[in-house]
Amino acid sequence: MDYKTSGVDIDAGHETVRRIKALAKSTFTAGVLSDIGSFGGLFRLDTTGWKDPILVSSADGVGTKLKIAFMTNQHRTIGVDLVNHCVNDILVQGARPLFFLDYLATGRLQPDVAEQIVAGLARACKDNGCALLGGETAEMPGFYQDGEYDLAGFIVGAVDGEQLVNGRSIAVGDVLIGLPSSGLHTNGYSLARRIAFEHLGLSADSLVEELGGTIGEVLLTPHRSYLQAVYPLVVKGAIKAMAHITGGGITDNVPRILPAGTAARIKRDSWEPPAVFRWLQRVGDVPEADMFRTFNMGVGLIIVCPPSLAETVVGDLRTRQESPMVIGEITRGNRDVLYA
């Protein structure tokens, strides 16, 4: 008996580290003081130019979108999903990312699959100016089915106290501006999979002409980052609050930023949900209320700004090739969402 026959291949672990080391190092920023393989990642925060630096952190996973990666054997964008989701989660409080760590767990370690995953992590970290500081790869035989894995991420960013976005100044009459999503992002996949693969009996490579590709390709569309589009507005102090539309959809995420005595009135006809949402609702016969509480419905980030700055915010976003949509306003209420 030895460790390898019990299901843990230490040599495969070393090979995985060898493959991903260069990928991670390619993301290193000036603050990184350690190398991949250290017991802990070292990062020096340069406080030059910061009056009151506040660290902002978050942890998340990709959810059952991983099942689509398993079905298609495509793993290069799952890491992008994870990093961008975490970046958006701290961006809504005004933070820009400093470093990121990942946790990859699997039943049997496959270095080529791990390399694809980390390649996506590294690409997204570089795009967001964030260092992939380290992580953990765990081989756990008997815990996961063969060919499957779980992936989680941990991010740390910083915001100056003067630029912290917390929603406390939200007032009746403030404007809600939505930014388009790139698809389902990383939420609602349990329902989407049930509709596509159980109810309709499709396979991942089934072509859905209405969606312009195979269902696997459409569902693997990466979660986008809003950092480059929105952070300049944070610096200018033009934003009162932001909501990242993740699990719970618009219905459950917008109330998280509302102060007592206010509500969000969403103009349902101010945008048309992209084809993938219309298709899922129609073929799955999903009630509209469930759609708005499960999916982002084509709006991945919602910005709250004063009416006096709404035109400026929209114009600024358009200069960055965004397509902002004025989708509603703040009204009196009990921290809920009202669809008009």
Give the model confidence (pLDDT) of 201-258 as tens digits: 999 999 999 999 999 999 999 999 999 999 999 999 999 999 999 999 999 999 999 9
Q: Go through the domains of the chain in sequence order and give each one's CATH number.
A: 10-163 (3.30.1330.10), 175-339 (3.90.650.10)
pLDDT at 15: 83
Q: How confident is the model at residue 272 (pLDDT cuts 50, 70, 90)?
A: very high
Model confidence pLDDT, tens digit, residues 11-66: 777 888 888 899 999 999 999 999 988 899 999 999 998 999 999 999 999 999 99
Q: What is the pLDDT of residue 228?
A: 97
User: Which of the four pLDDT bands, split at 50, 70 and 90, describes residue 3?
Assistant: low
E-strand ranges in 148-284 read 149-160, 175-180, 207-208, 213-214, 241-244, 262-266
Put simply, whether the predicted model's pTM sits higher than 0.75 gets the answer yes
Identify the CA nearest to 254 among candidates 193, 185, 328: 328
Task: Return the structure tokens found at 194.
Answer: 């049930």
Q: What is the DSSP string of 34-85?
A: S-TTSSS--B----TT-SSEEEEEEEEE-TTHHHHHHHHT--TTHHHHHHHH
State residue 49's pLDDT score: 86
**Residue range 309-326: average pLDDT?**
97
Residue 10 has pLDDT above 90, yes or no: no
Which own/partner contact pairs does 25-33 have at CB distance under 8 Å and 24+ positions apart?
26/122, 26/126, 27/122, 27/125, 27/126, 27/130, 27/131, 27/132, 28/131, 28/132, 29/98, 29/99, 29/129, 29/130, 29/131, 31/98, 31/99, 31/131, 32/99, 32/131, 32/133
